[in-house]
Each structure stands twice: as C-alpha cells, then as structure tokens.
Amino acid sequence: MREDSSAIEKAKALDEMLRRATPPEVIEGALRAVGRERLALVSSFGTESAALLKVMADVDPAIPVIFLDTGFLFEETLAYRDTLFARLGLRDVRTITPQEETLRREDANRELWFSDPDACCRIRKVEPLKQALAPFDGWINGRKRFQGGLRAQISVVEADGIRLKFNPFAKIARADVEAIYAEAKLPPHPLVVSGFLSVGCMPCSSRAKPGEDARDSRWRGRSKTECGIHLD
C-alpha cells in the first residue's frame, strides 16, 4: 500500500509524542488521534495475543477487534478466541474470512500454501484484512522489536498507506509480556504446552526447536518470515 504524505507526517508527530509511552498510553493516544469509531485492533489470538488484548480491554473494551479466520487455523486458536472474548469482556470481536469466490478460483485444492505461500497469505489474510480495515483510520497490532527480523526496528506509530498503525508493544521486552500474563492470570494459548511459540495457520506453523525464536517456527524451511499484512 502506498503511503500517504499526510499520514506519514501525522505518524511521525505521534511517534515522537508516544515513543516513550507505556502500552496503555499508546492506546489512549490512538483513541485521541483517531477516535473509537475509526480505530480497530487486529489480533491473531495467538500465543502472545492475550497480553495486548488485556491492555486494550483495560483502556476501552469496546474498541473493535478484527480476527482473521483463514480457514486453516487450529481448532485450539478458535477456542482460545472464544475464551478470551468472554474472559476480557471484549465487546466487539469481528471474525472475517477470505472471499469464497477467490478461494474457489485461486486455491480450489487448498494446496496453495505449499506451492506459493505468499499468494496463499495474500488471498487468506492480506486482501480480507484490507477490506475489513476500509472503514478505519487507524489500527493497533501486537508486533514487538524483540521478535527480530523485520520487526526489530519498528516505531511505536507508523504510516500504513492512508492509515495510522499503532504498535503499543514495540519497545517492551518478553519479560513484560510474561508479567502481564502472570499479573492478570491470563490463560495461555492451548498449543503452548505442546511446544508452539508462535501459532498461525496449521500448514505453516510448527513446534519450536531448542534455542529458536518464536518466528523461526513459522514457514519453516523457507525465507518467508511475514504473512504480508505488515509489508508495503
């Protein structure tokens, strides 16, 4: 998505204002800048998602939460979504899915993940999210610098085309995430006990090996490290 010059300037100003803010303060700043009706949080309901959802719920549980059901998710992830929905008192969780016509045309055999994972992510994640975010001027996500790779240098506030993208957890440490879970007694994702550090679609997620970072277990054996929703 091509960045809009006005969004770039606004993102720079907000990042300067919020780069030393706590995660709740970043979400509060996003609400002031965009307004609840024009702000959404995008969550995978993955292994670290409950921490950000808890922080958001403490600020404003009515902020819309967008959840991408790609058709390839673990049943445990769908159950975890429902658990956190009730546990945190989230008032507006919106589950979105890929277009059936697109799936029939481009992935009728459900094997695109193997032959062209970028194309699979495009039709199952990138394009549905683009449509879901159309009514919004800003969105919140849970990326963290400690996850490494392309995430190591992310700002607290970025321009994402014509929208603002807020990264409340950009500068926190893994220990901070663990502390949020412990303090709030948040339930872990059901697959953590099985050795999953990062959970996405079933075909492209695997158990972590000793010494690996969470992202190492996604798209194993490929150079791919991102699904595409955070790429230009």
Cα 55 to Cα 40: distance, rounded to the nearest angstrom:
14
With both helix axes pointing from N to C terminus, report the angle between 5-18 and 23-34 in degrees, rounded to the nearest 10.
Answer: 140
Walk across the sheet containing 138-140 and list its strands.
93-96, 65-68, 39-43, 138-140, 163-166, 157-160
The active-site residue, picked from 120, 121, 201, 227, is: 227
State the residue for tokens 């679609």. Answer: 201
Q: Positive or negative CA dihedral for 219, 225, 230, 232?
A: negative
Residue type at position 212: E
- Establish whether 121 is a catalytic residue: no
Q: Could you give the residue numbers annotated as active site?
A: 227
